[in-house]
Structure 1
Amino acid sequence: MDTAELHELLTPESLALLDDLDPDSLGDAVAAVSRLRAVGHSPARVAAVLSQARLRRRARAKFGPFADRMLFTEAGLEQSTRLAVASLHAGRFAAAGLDRVADLGCGIGADALALAGLDLAVLAVERDEPTAALAAYNLAPFPRARVECADATAVDLSEVDAAWLDPARRSAGRRLDDPGDWEPSLDFCFELGRRIPVGIKLGPGVDRGLLPEGFEAQWISADREVVELVLWSGALARPGVGRAALVLGPHGAAELVAEADSADAEPGEQGEWLYEPDGAVIRARLIGDLARQLDGRMLDETIAWITADTAIDTPFAQRFRVVDELPVDEKKLKRALRERGIGTLEIKKRGVDVDPAQLRKRLALSGAASATLVLTRRAGKRVALLAERA
């Protein structure tokens, strides 16, 4: 967002128009522009307001009804923490008794919003002026929150108890591979975390060799998607917890924790049940601990499938019942599926080189039945297992 668009958006007339619009009723873009122009709104106002209305509609997936009073940038919305996740982070600061928190690199203010919602004093720092202005708008309802447009590495932190950092890993639309180029740099984040309690939000696939000693590493998934890794230090890190997998879904929140990476479970004979660990469990390398909870074993020592003889409900994995083993050969597989009248096929692949979408197209299935096909390796050999979701 450039300065001209920001100034237009923040006028009373534009904000009033934005609040009057129903994002779900915009319909065709050309028609929406024509309708607003016909009642006297300038091209600049129409462009700014319609852009925000569309962003608000998209933002509902992350912010729920709060999205309808917030302002966004494209990048800010894409990079912001889901409100449900941000609220859990904020709760950790509150539980630790850390009342004054700096959000360094606050973006549009999603994490600061969750902190302020718990009545914590928040210093939200953002280097980009238009983004800082939007953060100030989003945080305006909270009297203990203030926004400062500044470099996160240069701001005075003498009056805060802790900090939250979400280093920017893109610049001018380009991904920054070197952590030294992130804003703020990873070294700065780690050094700050050794001086005061911090939470550092990173991408879930960050190189594990970069993880510092003495920090708690918590991978988080929401609705089966691994959304982030958070490193916690000082009073925000839990004693005896070095690795954690937090899983959010219809069940609520569930967490698997350990002091360090868990030892692998031994591979063994295939049982009636297959469990696919949640991505957060895989990233945290707690598959072995989960397998032991399920009284299970690994289907293959190099593949993240757990097999067991009993059915156990767990939020940390999806469960499948194996109903048959089919030929790996594609022609024979196609014939076997057609004989069973399977027209709807979910394909789960792990440890094999296959494109599920292309394979499904080649199989050209028809029929009323549905099933799951697990393509993987068992004891080093490729297998095709027909299964049904529990």
Structure 2
Amino acid sequence: MRIRTAGVVAVLGLALAASGCGDNSKDEPAAKDSPKAASGKLVIWADDKRAAALKPFGEKFGQENGVTVEVQAVSKDLQTNFVTASQQGSGPDVVVGAHDWIGNLVQNGAIDPVQLAAEQKSAFNETAVKAVTFNGQVYGVPYATENIALIRNTELAPEAPKTIEDLVASGKKLKAEKKASEILCLQSGQNGDAYHIYPLYTSAGGYLFGTAANGDYDPKDLGVGKPESIAAFQKIAKLGEKGDGALKRSITGENSIATFTGKKCAYLVSGPWAIADAKKAGIKYDISPVPGFAGGKEAQPFVGVQSFYVAAKGKNKALAQEFVTNYVTKPDLAVALYNAEPRPPALTAAFDQVKGTDPDLAKFSEAGKNGQVLPAIPAMAAIWDPFGKAEAAVIGGADPTKTVTAAGKTISGQIK
């Protein structure tokens, strides 16, 4: 594990100053008093980009509270390294990561619920709060949301396609005119990509997990292998290499964006992370929802949320709660993290602050407004590999019924 310290503030040797920005909610109290930490040090783990953005805020929090704050960048396998370090008692007090880690982290006893007051929760995007809620408890403070959309080269495709069939027809015409070499850049590769194919899978009627009465995903109701999923993959197969040729295994996570910025395809299914490359390449682009199948359901992308977590085995849990509940909830930190990596802020005040300077923000949010929260239940870990490989096989021409039925059995066996 490669960890480097991104910022350390001097210990001021002072008792923690009292502070509070919670409300008087009796059932959901916010942390009202800054805790007294035994060692006076708060350790935060994040990836490289976020660690750099957090540095000045860590320094400010440390100065205000008389503690040392170390923001450490973990470059690879942050979730795995955090769980391992937690079990060994050598982990951080706060970790920053995706909401779909929650099921695994809770299962491993690695994180505690966070103490957000009702008033604080209401300041966030509702979907973001739902994403960090697991088994009825809030386990993280969200700071950004993300989802994929259709990004198109407006010089090649002036109008947003209303259906995937319209997109394919437009892409085929561009190929025939030798204005593009690919119909669509939607990454698959040899192992598939469940995340990027999901909007088309849902539009065709497929689902991963059903939901329980309380709205939580139900791992006992597995959709993969059911008739709906087979029908969905039959539609996806028609877009594949033996069909329209819109979906190809040669389009991968490594080349999909580059193929689009190289003007070899007019349509790219990707997220906000692709925009910097499009701008650098001078592509004139627009953003719209991923189109679904004609006569099908709405195409629903996954909605992911980036969040701050309190380590269950951290040395300064009270100080960590203070940081995530009463400091991370401030708009200036959310805006700084947005500037480090432009994903829509989960905090409404921060979103409103930056949307005027970034027209793409509202378009990505619109594309994800009816999306599905990426399941955070532990059973989701069993989905990715078998589902992806089934997708790639079907795109390559394998029989959808046999392939998806087999994938369902594999997933079901892993969940049990």
Fold equivalence (TM over 0.5): no
The structure number with the bigger radius of gyration is 1
Question: Which protein has the bigger strand share?
Answer: 1
- After TM superposition, the score normalised by the length of structure 2 is 0.27
Q: Considering Cα pairs closer than 8 Å and 6+ residues apart, tell me whether 1 or 2 has the greater RCO.
A: 2
- After TM superposition, the score normalised by the length of structure 1 is 0.28
